[in-house]
Chain A
Amino acid sequence: MTELENYLFSGIPIRTTLDNSTTVQYAGLLCQLTMKARSTVRDIDPQNDLTFLRIRSKKHEIMVAPDKEYLLIVIQNPCE
């Protein structure tokens, strides 16, 4: 089971398959985290850039694919 969301970099969701409140929460939090991750990568090596971010937790796996303007977030439940 997977859920999918598209975001503007400002953190406003464009399209989502989840309910609104969860989407908004994920949007705000993950947007900041992505920016932080990207700045971390670029601080270490300015030629580098963040391509993909994967957060594995006990219950889900969150996958974030950043881009210049947009952000794609997929939340996946474990196999079983």
Chain B
Amino acid sequence: MFTFKEHSKFVYCAILLSFIGHPEIFPLVFTTKTQEIFNCRVDEDVTEENCFKLIKKEDIIQDLKTRAAISDFYPVKRVVLEYPGEELLVVFDANFQYGQNFYLVASEEAKENFLKPPDTAEEKEEKSEEEKEGTLDVHAYKRSVRKPWVSLGSEKEVEEESVKGYVTKIKYMFSRARRKFGAPIRFTDRNASHVKDSYVECTSYQDTTFSIKLLERDVGVQMVPKVKEASTQTKWTYPKNAATQYSPRQLSNEEMEESLSSEKLKEFLTSVHLRMEIALQQNEIMNAFFDDWKALAEDETSSGDKSDVYLKAYQSFTDPQYLKDRSISCVRWHPTIYGIIAESATQQHSDEERINLSDKLLLQDSVIIFWSFSDPIHPQLILQCPHDIYCFQFSPSDPNIIAGGCFNGQVVLWDISKHEERLQNAKSITVGPSYMEDDESVTEPPLVRYCATSSTEGSHKTVITDIHWLPDHFEVNRTGTTFENRAEICIQLVTCSPDCLILFWDIRVTKLPGKLSFEKEKNIFDMPPGVPDTFKHLALSWKPLIKVLLAFFQSLAADFCFNLPRTYLIMAINKSQLKNKPLCSMSSSSKFSIYLIFLALQDGEIIYSDWKIKIDSDSGKPVSKKPSHKYIIHDEAVNTVQISPFFKDIVLSVGGWNFAIWKEGVTDGPILESSCTAQRYTTGHWSLTRPGVFFIGRDDGNIDIWDLLKKPHEPSHFQNISKSMITCISPWIASPKQQFLAVSDDSGVLHVLEICPILSQSSSNEQANVLDYFEREVKYLKNYEKYQEFQAKERTEKESLKCTYFC
């Protein structure tokens, strides 16, 4: 059996053999089986001498078919199949000349050679063997015998190599007529594509046989890093100045003094001084900041027609139930709610009657009535009072608290917080004819009982003629010193009355000295139902904080005018018309505890002095000093003292048949005094928006409107409002375009008038003009005084001269 190794060896040998010129020898290995089949058993059929065996081709092929791969002829299968002859020669190779024990001769010629001249070959072999043995001894020269050339196949090679002509040459002969040679040549163009088959194209085509597939290619590679651009945004925190704290350079004191005293500075100042002076003078001469254009516009609006000045009747309120035969003593607007006005109704008696009747019970209820613009027929709210109220005030910090001064000297407090909403909604109710018919929708105005009244022994002895709240930044303590009120609400009241007393009241729970807490509790009783208990602590035991006796008056002081330092709020306490009630107005200067008073007395005297509450050594009670100046201007009791809302040192006083304007600090007299008129002046009020305008009410029902800039000697306009005496005037700014004037009269009717724009809107420089006017008047007054003195002196001189002359 052939192993792979043997097979390869066999092939190797075959290749070797073919190289050395014996390509037809194929060494084979015959197994015993094969030897039996082909009868070429070693040492039986074939021997060393008789080594040739002819085997038929068909037998071999048969053997190949039967034994296939295991047949010994398998490696030479192809050779056998291709063998042209019928019999193949197999030669026993005893010497293993060709590698195996048998070899196959593949070609006929070789076979012949082997069969025939093997003898010679054998002989040659023998000879060569012999020669080999023999040449060792002697090599005898033997002349070579010429042999016949034996063809070994070389003539074939020669034949192959030699060049012979295979192709018989073809002879052609061309001839042409001679004249055709040398003829001029004419070339023409001809398009090859026009004629069919005129040209033969040899187009290129891709011959796949010649396309070489590149299996190997030389490629150069360079390693280069890939360049990539990338960017990212980072939060680069870099220090940046957020704030810099610095302090300025400053010269030390010595340096400063040195430079101040240096010569250079002096020279500088002299040279610069002139320039600066010129500039300052220029500024003095002309006001560079004056806006001519704006001023021009203002002038146009202020020059209105005379006929345009009016007080338009807006509404009038009266109530048949409560206000029959009653006089309205005081009118106040609600500070915050639009269109609510309150009035206090009193008996329509003359003074004497009132005093006589004061002991008897008043059958008619005393009320404060609230009206709203939306409903002129039905009052919104009615406050019950124990007695007639002569004056009342809304608390500036809390409009739901109302303080009123009674006829008998008591102070009464109301708290209407429950009804605040009703008052606020009052404006949404519209008045129409259907409203009258529908009785169900009409509700009775709620009656509010008073919360607290002061104790009778602590209050005034006679009517409280004026009542005011102290401003919310200010309070007074027991000893009379004033200090700052941190609570920012109004907690203190001041009242005055003809009994010479000015009382300070405090609405907080005060610790009265010497009273134990349980005693206080005893005094507190349950309030009647429906009354808020805001002032429960005051109840019946409310006593004034400070009682100031104005000792220098026989009769009673009543009016106040507080001019307080920080904000210069004016509390002008207006006095009513009752006789025996002097008025006093106080205005404070810049220091807390010193007050300057303008006191207007009952007889028309105006007193101007310092007022300081000090403790009287005798009685231990605070008293005030003696007055410094006295003026008698008014013929009757002064009923109005009011500080101008624009100028803190201008005071208007109205009384009797004239009015006067005073200025604080001017002690010579009033800066303006009106001439006496036919009717009495009953009340007066400054306009809230125009500095030079004020309203005066008369007892014939007229209102005089005075404009100091237009006509200082007579009213610029007057208008009749009602038939009876005007008792109170109160203007109110409802909106920048709308101003109302509430006028109450003696017959219980409250008229609300709308002030025309001319009277309500001031021009830009009006205040300055009015101020100028007042200053002029002051100067005139001073000059007048001087002139009078001069006149008096001259007169005395003249008289003395006269005397001397005559004597």
Residues of A bordering B, CB below 8 Å: 2, 6, 8, 10-15, 24, 27-28, 51-52, 54, 56, 58, 61, 63, 65, 67-70, 72, 74, 76, 78-80
Q: What bracket does the count of chain B residues touching chain A fall in? A: 20 to 34
A74 touching B276, Cβ below 8 Å = yes
Closest to B278 in A: A52
B788 on the A face (CB < 8 A): no
Indicate if the CB atoms of B288 and A61 lie closer than 8 Å.
yes
B264:A70 contact, CB within 8 angstroms: yes
- CB-CB under 8 A from A51, the residues of chain B are 275
- Within the complex, the shortest CB–CB distance from B243 to chain A, in Å, comes to 17
Q: Which of B247-255, B528-536, B725-733 contacts A (4 or more CB under 8 A)?
A: B247-255
- Whether A69 and B264, one on each chain, are in contact in the complex, defined by CB atoms closer than 8 angstroms, is yes
Asked if A79 contacts B275 (CB within 8 A), the reply is no
Known: A12-B248, A27-B248, A67-B268. 9 other contacts (CB 8 A): A11-B249, A12-B250, A24-B248, A24-B250, A56-B289, A67-B271, A68-B268, A72-B269, A79-B287
Contacts A14-B251, A65-B272, A67-B272 known; A78 to B256 CB distance under 8 Å? Answer: no
Q: A14-B251, A69-B268 are in contact. Are A74 and B287 (CB under 8 A)?
A: no
A41 CB to nearest B CB, Å: 15
Contact partners of B248 in chain A: CB under 8 A: 12, 24, 27-28
Expressed in whole angstroms, the Cα–Cα distance for A25 and B259 within the complex equals: 21
- Asked whether B676 is an interface residue with its Cβ less than 8 Å from the other chain, the reply is no
Name the B residues within 8 Å of A14 (CB-CB). 251, 256, 259-260, 265
Tell whether B279 is near chain A: CB-to-CB under 8 Å.
Answer: yes
B223 within 8 A of A: no
Interface of B, secondary structure class, is helix
User: Which of B250, B251, B259, B289 makes the CB contact (< 8 A) with A79?
Assistant: B289
24 contacts between A and B (CB under 8 A): A8-B251, A11-B249, A12-B248, A12-B250, A12-B251, A13-B250, A15-B260, A24-B248, A28-B248, A56-B288, A61-B283, A63-B279, A67-B268, A70-B268, A72-B269, A72-B276, A74-B276, A76-B280, A76-B283, A78-B288, A79-B283, A79-B284, A79-B289, A80-B287
- Does B768 sit within 8 A of A, measured CB to CB? yes
**Contact pick for B279, options A27, A52, A68, CB 8 Å:** A52
- Taking the closest CB of chain B, its distance from the CB of A18, in whole angstroms, is 14
Contact, CB under 8 Å: B276 / A63: yes
* Docked CA distance A6–B498 (Å): 62
Contact A70 B289 (CB under 8 A): no
Inter-chain contact A8/B259, CB cutoff 8 Å? yes
Which B residues fall within an 8 A CB radius of A?
248-251, 256, 259-260, 264-265, 268-269, 271-272, 275-276, 279-280, 283-284, 287-289, 768
B223 CB to nearest chain A CB (Å)? 64
Please tell me if the beta carbons of A78 and B275 are within 8 angstroms of each other in the complex.
no
Q: From residue B766, how far is it (CB to closest CB) to chain A in Å?
A: 13
Please give the distance in Å from A37's CB to the nearest CB on chain B.
15
Beta-carbon nearest neighbor of B247 in chain A = A24
Q: How far does the Cβ of B254 sit from chain A's closest Cβ, in whole Å?
A: 12
Q: Which chain A positions have C-beta within 8 A of B275?
A: 51-52, 65
* Complex Cα–Cα for A24 and B247 (A): 10
A8 to B256 CA separation, bound complex (whole angstroms)? 10
In the complex formed, the residue of A with least CB distance to B279 is A63
Closest to A27 in B: B248
Closest B residue to A66 by beta carbon equals B272
Distance of B191 from chain A, by nearest CB (Å): 88
Known: A10-B249, A52-B275. A80 touches B288 (CB 8 A): no
Q: Which residues of chain B come closer than 8 Å to A56, judged between CB atoms?
A: 288-289
| Chain B, residue nearest A63 (CB) | B279
Output the least CB separation between B423 and chain A (Å): 43
- Taken together as a complex, chains A and B put the C-alpha atoms of A70 and B256 apart, in Å, by 13
How many Å from the CB of B589 to the closest CB on chain A? 23
Q: How far is A63 from B260 in the complex, measured between Cα atoms in Å? A: 21
User: Which A residues touch B251, using CB under 8 A?
Assistant: 8, 12-14
Least CB distance, B720 to chain A, in whole angstroms: 41
The distance from the CB of B269 to the nearest CB of chain A, in whole angstroms, is: 7
Q: Give the residues in chain B near A6, CB-CB below 8 Å.
A: 265
**B276 touching A65, Cβ below 8 Å:** yes
Tell me the minimal C-beta distance from B178 to chain A in angstroms: 111
Contacts of B288 in A (CB 8 A): 56, 61, 78
B260 CB contacts on chain A under 8 angstroms = 14-15
Given A14-B251, A24-B248: A2 and B287 interface contact (C-beta under 8 Å): no
A72 contacts B272, C-beta separation under 8 Å: yes
By Cβ-Cβ distance, the 6 closest A-B pairs, closest first, are A78-B289, A79-B287, A65-B272, A24-B248, A70-B268, A67-B268
Partner of B768, one of A65, A68, A80: A80
Give the distance in Å from the alpha carbon of A52 to the alpha carbon of B280 in the complex.
Answer: 12
